[in-house]
Structure 1
């Protein structure tokens, strides 16, 4: 069953390779969507894929890369309203 989530990640998540880590995990798990930095220092992500893989993706994102420190992560199931062909880093 396909699942789509909108995620906001807060903490030390910019300047630590967080978006590239997120893309790597998405590609590894067959997740599609996007990730981008926000002006307030947080990271936003929309991801869609198989529910089992989305759950694994969320667990990875919650931990982040080595130098990241996630202090808060909000996840909302959503209908993306758009089709994704891959997972991309948006600027």
Structure 2
């Protein structure tokens, strides 16, 4: 299973980015979470097969209809938390 941490910056808060990411991830069978960060970016933890995770990352480059994605940074995630669903983290 591939686990990646993705940070998406630009106009990505207040444009339904998290809800749309959740729908996209669930459609692809990717688990993990999406949450807003204090710096105005969005963080995605994506867990799943190589192809579905890559498809979610490819989607994140455009995001929701009203998003204006400036940058997508991807890094490996080696945490032990395994998610059974894709959640919106409200923290």
TM-score when normalising by structure 1: 0.95
Query: CA shift at 1:83, angstroms?
Result: 1.3
1:57 is matched with 56
Q: Is the 8 A contact 1:36 1:89 kept in 2?
A: yes
Structure 2 gap ranges (5+): none
Query: CA shift at 1:32, angstroms?
Result: 0.2
The secondary structure found in structure 2 opposite 1:63 is: coil
1:88 is matched with 87
Q: Distance in 2 between matches of 1:57 and 1:6?
A: 12
1:46 is matched with 45
Q: RMSD over aligned Cα, in angstroms?
A: 0.7
Q: Distance in 1 between matches of 2:21 and 2:27?
A: 10
Runs of 4+ in structure 1 over 2 Å off: none
Matched residue pairs, number?
90
Q: Is the 8 A contact 1:33 1:46 kept in 2?
A: yes
Q: Distance in 2 between matches of 1:45 and 1:78?
A: 11
